[in-house]
Structure 1
Amino acid sequence: MQKVYINLAERSYYIHIAPGLLARLGEHLAALDVGRRVLLVTNPTVRRLHGGPAEASLTAAGFAVVPAEIPDGEEYKSLASAEKLYDLAYGRGLDRRCPVVALGGGVTGDLAGFVAATYLRGVPFIQVPTTLLAQVDSSVGGKVAVNHPRGKNIIGAFYQPRLVLADPDVLKTLDAREISAGLAEVIKYGVIADAGFLAWLEENLERLLNLEPAALAHAVAVSCHIKAQVVQDDETEQGRRAILNFGHTAGHAVEALTGYTAWRHGEAVAMGMAAACRLAVQLGRLEEAAAARVKKLLVRAGLPVDVPAGLSPAEMLASMRHDKKVIAGRLTFVLPTAIGRVEILRDVPEEAVRGMLEQRR
Structure 2
Amino acid sequence: MATITVKGPSPYDVQIDRDLTDQVAARVKELGAGQAAIVHQPTLAAPARALAEVLNAANIRVTMAPVPDAEAGKTLEVAGKLWDTLGNEAFTRHDVIIGFGGGAATDLAGFVAAAWMRGIKVVQVPTTLLAMVDAAVGGKTGINTEAGKNLVGAFHEPSGVYIDLDRIYTLDPDELIAGSAEVIKTGFIADERILEIFEADPEKALDVDGDLPELIERSVVVKAKVVGEDLKESGLREMLNYGHTFGHAIEKRENYQWRHGHAVAVGMMFVAHLAHNRGLINDEIVERHRDILQSVGLPTTYPAGAFDELYEGMLHDKKNRDGLIRFVALTGVGEVTRIEGPSIEELQAAYDAISE
- What TM-score results when the alignment is normalised by the length of structure 1? 0.95
Q: 2:39 aligns with which of 38, 41, 57?
A: 41
CA distance in 1, matches of 2:198, 2:333: 13
CA distance in 2, matches of 1:58, 1:178: 28
SS in 2 for 1:146: strand
Q: CA deviation at 1:23?
A: 4.4
1:90-239 alignment, distance < 5 Å: 90-209=87-206, 211-213=207-209, 215-239=211-235
Identity of aligned residues (%): 37
1:277 is the counterpart of 2:276: no
Q: Is the 8 A contact 1:253 1:316 kept in 2?
A: yes
Q: Is the 8 A contact 2:195 2:292 kept in 1?
A: no
Partner amino acid, structure 2, of 1:46: L
**Equivalent residue number for residue 24 of structure 1:** 23
CA distance in 1, matches of 2:270, 2:57: 49
What do the CA deviations read for 1:37-79 (whole angstroms, capped 9, x no partner)? 101100110123x223311221122211100000102132010
What do the CA deviations read for 1:253-311 (whole angstroms, capped 9, x no partner)? 000111112x11111100101111111111111111111011111011111111234x5
Q: Is the 8 A contact 1:168 1:213 kept in 2?
A: no
Q: CA deviation at 1:214?
A: 5.1
Q: Is the 8 A contact 1:23 1:53 kept in 2?
A: no
Q: Is the 8 A contact 1:38 1:101 kept in 2?
A: yes
CA distance in 2, matches of 1:213, 1:28: 27
1:299 is the counterpart of 2:294: yes
CA distance in 1, matches of 2:6, 2:208: 26
CA distance in 1, matches of 2:210, 2:116: 38
1:243 is the counterpart of 2:224: no
Partner amino acid, structure 2, of 1:172: Y
**Equivalent residue number for residue 287 of structure 1:** 282
SS in 2 for 1:335: strand
Partner amino acid, structure 1, of 2:109: A
Partner amino acid, structure 2, of 1:165: Y
Number of aligned residue pairs: 355
Q: CA deviation at 1:233?
A: 1.6
1:14 is the counterpart of 2:13: yes
Q: Is the 8 A contact 1:75 1:259 kept in 2?
A: no
CA distance in 2, matches of 1:234, 1:25: 27
What do the CA deviations read for 1:118-139 (whole angstroms, capped 9, x no partner)? 0111001110000001001111
Q: CA deviation at 1:352?
A: 0.3
CA distance in 2, matches of 1:60, 1:308: 53
Structure 1, unaligned stretches of length 5 or more? none
CA distance in 2, matches of 1:277, 1:341: 13
Which region of structure 1 is more displaced relative to structure 2, 331-340 or 160-169? 331-340
Structure 2, unaligned stretches of length 5 or more? none
Q: Is the 8 A contact 2:197 2:211 kept in 1?
A: no
Partner amino acid, structure 2, of 1:228: A
**Equivalent residue number for residue 312 of structure 2:** 318
CA distance in 2, matches of 1:288, 1:86: 51
Partner amino acid, structure 2, of 1:102: G
SS in 1 for 2:211: helix
**Equivalent residue number for residue 352 of structure 1:** 346
Q: 2:327 aligns with which of 327, 330, 333?
A: 333
Aligned CA RMSD, in angstroms, stands at 1.3
CA distance in 2, matches of 1:73, 1:141: 19
What do the CA deviations read for 1:223-243 (whole angstroms, capped 9, x no partner)? 111001111121111111100
Q: Is the 8 A contact 1:26 1:60 kept in 2?
A: no
CA distance in 2, matches of 1:213, 1:115: 35
SS in 2 for 1:314: helix
